[in-house]
């Protein structure tokens, strides 16, 4: 079969790499793809939000299955258009995808589904939002309602800072119209975990949980980023916790979406906070996480494509995927200055020297005359597998040291808490 992977990041590189291992695929295309997917599959160059272009390509090449990576393509209605042309697509419709593209929608959906989530208020008017905060005299998480490429959630320290954050999003419009409406959310403490699942409109098959690191600097300091790395599995979120989250979060939400006439098909990502008052949902994403996909997909034993196809067909049935007991750690190598301004065009050395069971999933690279060069803020995710989290972590950082480019930065503390807590046990 012919498979089209939509997107251009390290997540899509990981999906492409895994899809190519399937004996079922005789061609894998990417839209648009990146420098590294171009070396293993066929880049179409069609942008992920060029819906007409993708629909045309799928029809002309008779693509059997389209897999949507980024949220922008979901929100632009790619799944709707492909389904209208009787094409199989992994990824939700724009209506079901509102679970990510509107934070206010996700909150009201959770209220209707009886899913635990921090208390919240929705505001269209910055003055009213600020009056509310002044009355409460404490900090709230400030979230842009719409899609904001990871820049729409601000976590202030106190009430004054919350007022600043409201101005930043609603008056200074740092994320544009995405913050014409905001959600003010109660701050909750705990440990964050990402739980992704295949959802076929009805059935839910959980993938192993992962943790990601959103802050730029060690010790969770510095600005929020699109993700600086992650690891899987998660010691504080084992099989019992997964089963409970499936039963209490994913199944009720999927059922409510189905009852609303907007069934969800694709990967559903729940960002969970595990704290003293149990598990609460901080956010949903209507897609695979990035960098969660990069650390979870290498742990899949066997074929990804039947899993994607069964999800897209609404036929997960009793499908169960088999996952390696090995651990994975992913380190994002970034350009100095990211997530602010940074320079690009620097040669990347050492990629040919990384060890077996270590994968370099590219995001911001380009193919230069003498090899890959940097072309973005997050350049690549280096993922290592190991028999324990300690081994995966050691292998990841040992191989990070083999790679060099001008201004290369990364976090040094990824998965450290897992390794340290294992030592204490």
Chain centroid to Cα 177, Å, comes to 22
Asked if 101 touches ligand GLY (CB under 6 A), the answer is no
Residues near 223 by beta carbon (within 8 Å), at least 6 away in sequence: 215, 216, 339, 340
Asked if 289 touches ligand GLY (CB under 6 A), the answer is yes
Nearer to ligand GLY, 152 or 386 (CB): 152
Where does this chain touch ligand GLY (CB under 6 A) — which range of 55-63, 285-293, 299-307, 388-396? 285-293
Asked if 418 touches ligand GLY (CB under 6 A), the answer is no
Nearer to ligand GLY, 227 or 339 (CB): 227
Nearer to ligand GLY, 16 or 285 (CB): 285
Residue 271 Cβ vs ligand GLY, minimum distance, rounded to whole Å: 7
Bond from prior residue into 32 cis (ω within 30 degrees of 0): yes
CA distances from 21 to 15, 124, 290 (A): 10, 48, 21
Nearer to ligand GLY, 129 or 206 (CB): 206
Where does this chain touch ligand GLY (CB under 6 A) — which range of 34-42, 177-185, 288-296, 389-397? 288-296
Q: Residue 24 and residue 415: Cα distance in Å, rounded?
A: 35
Asked if 298 touches ligand GLY (CB under 6 A), the answer is no
Q: Residue 129 and residue 388: Cα distance in Å, rounded?
A: 47
With CB atoms as reference, the residue minimizing the distance to ligand GLY is 289
Where does this chain touch ligand GLY (CB under 6 A) — which range of 23-31, 48-56, 287-295, 304-312? 287-295
Asked if 12 touches ligand GLY (CB under 6 A), the answer is no
CB 233 within 8 A of CB 208: yes
By CB under 6 A, what part of segment 215-244 binds ligand GLY?
227
Residues contacting ligand GLY: total by CB under 6 A: 6
Neighbours of 69 (CB within 10 A): 28
Nearest to 154 by CA among 162, 251, 35: 162
Q: Which of 12, 185, 292, 309 binds ligand GLY (CB under 6 A)?
A: 292
Nearest to 311 by CA among 210, 230, 196: 196
Where does this chain touch ligand GLY (CB under 6 A) — which range of 244-252, 259-267, 289-297, 309-317? 289-297
For residue 402 the two structure tokens come to 């083999």
Where does this chain touch ligand GLY (CB under 6 A) — which range of 24-32, 78-86, 175-183, 286-294? 286-294
Asked if 290 touches ligand GLY (CB under 6 A), the answer is yes
Helices assigned H by DSSP within 207-250: 239-245
Q: Please tell me what DSSP assigns to residue 245.
A: H
Phi, psi of 334 (to 5 degrees): -120, 165
Q: Residue 41 and residue 185: Cα distance in Å, rounded?
A: 43
Asked if 97 touches ligand GLY (CB under 6 A), the answer is no
Q: Which of 16, 101, 285, 327 binds ligand GLY (CB under 6 A)?
A: 285
Where does this chain touch ligand GLY (CB under 6 A) — which range of 155-163, 284-292, 369-377, 407-415? 284-292
Asked if 212 touches ligand GLY (CB under 6 A), the answer is yes
CB 268 within 8 A of CB 199: yes
Nearer to ligand GLY, 33 or 230 (CB): 230
Asked if 70 touches ligand GLY (CB under 6 A), the answer is no
Q: DSSP for 21-74? A: T-TT-SEEEEEE--TTHHHHSEE----TT-HHHHHHHHHHHT-SEEEE-SHHHH
Residue 343 Cβ vs ligand GLY, minimum distance, rounded to whole Å: 25
Residue 415 Cβ vs ligand GLY, minimum distance, rounded to whole Å: 15
Positions in the binding site for ligand GLY (CB under 6 A): 212, 227, 285, 289-290, 292
């Amino acid at each position: 079969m012919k498979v089209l992977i939509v997107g251009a990041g390290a997540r899509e590189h990981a999906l492409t790499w895994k899809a190519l291992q399937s004996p079922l695929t005789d061609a894998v295309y990417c839209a648009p793809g990146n420098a590294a997917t171009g070396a293993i599959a066929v880049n179409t160059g069609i942008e992920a939000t060029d819906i007409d272009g993708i629909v045309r390509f799928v029809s002309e090449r008779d693509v059997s299955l389209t897999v949507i990576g980024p949220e922008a393509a979901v929100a632009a209605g790619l799944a709707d258009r492909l389904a209208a042309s009787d094409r199989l697509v992994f990824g939700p419709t724009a209506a079901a995808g509102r679970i990510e593209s509107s934070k206010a929608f996700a909150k009201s959906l959770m209220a209707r589904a009886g899913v635990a989530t921090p208390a919240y208020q929705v505001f269209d008017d910055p003055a009213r939002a600020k009056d509310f905060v002044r009355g409460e005299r404490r900090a709230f998480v400030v979230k842009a309602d719409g899609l904001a490429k990871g820049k729409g959630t601000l976590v202030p320290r106190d009430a004054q800072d919350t007022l600043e954050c409201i101005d930043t999003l609603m008056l200074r419009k740092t994320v544009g119209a995405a913050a014409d409406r905001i959600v003010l959310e109660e701050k909750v403490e705990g440990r964050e975990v990402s739980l992704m699942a295949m959802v076929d409109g009805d059935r839910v098959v959980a993938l192993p949980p992962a943790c990601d690191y959103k802050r730029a600097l060690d010790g969770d300091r510095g600005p929020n980023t699109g993700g600086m790395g992650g690891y899987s599995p998660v010691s504080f979120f084992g099989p019992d916790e997964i089963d409970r989250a499936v039963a209490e979060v994913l199944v009720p939400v999927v059922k409510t979406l189905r009852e609303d006439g907007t069934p969800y098909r694709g990967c559903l990502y729940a960002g969970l906070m595990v704290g003293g008052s149990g598990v609460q949902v901080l956010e949903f994403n209507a897609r695979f996480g990035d960098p969660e996909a990069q650390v979870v997909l290498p742990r899949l034993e066997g074929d990804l494509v039947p899993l994607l196809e069964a999800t897209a067909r609404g036929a997960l049935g009793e499908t169960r995927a088999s996952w390696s007991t090995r651990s994975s750690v992913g380190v994002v190598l970034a350009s100095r200055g990211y997530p602010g301004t940074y320079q690009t065009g620097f040669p990347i050395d050492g990629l040919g020297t990384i060890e077996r069971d270590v994968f370099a999933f590219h995001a911001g690279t380009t193919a230069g005359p003498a090899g890959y060069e940097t072309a973005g803020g997050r350049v690549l995710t280096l993922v290592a597998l190991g028999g324990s989290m300690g081994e995966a972590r050691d292998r990841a950082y040992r191989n990070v040291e083999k790679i060099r480019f001008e201004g290369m930065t990364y976090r040094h503390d990824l998965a450290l808490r897992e390794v340290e807590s294992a030592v204490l046990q």
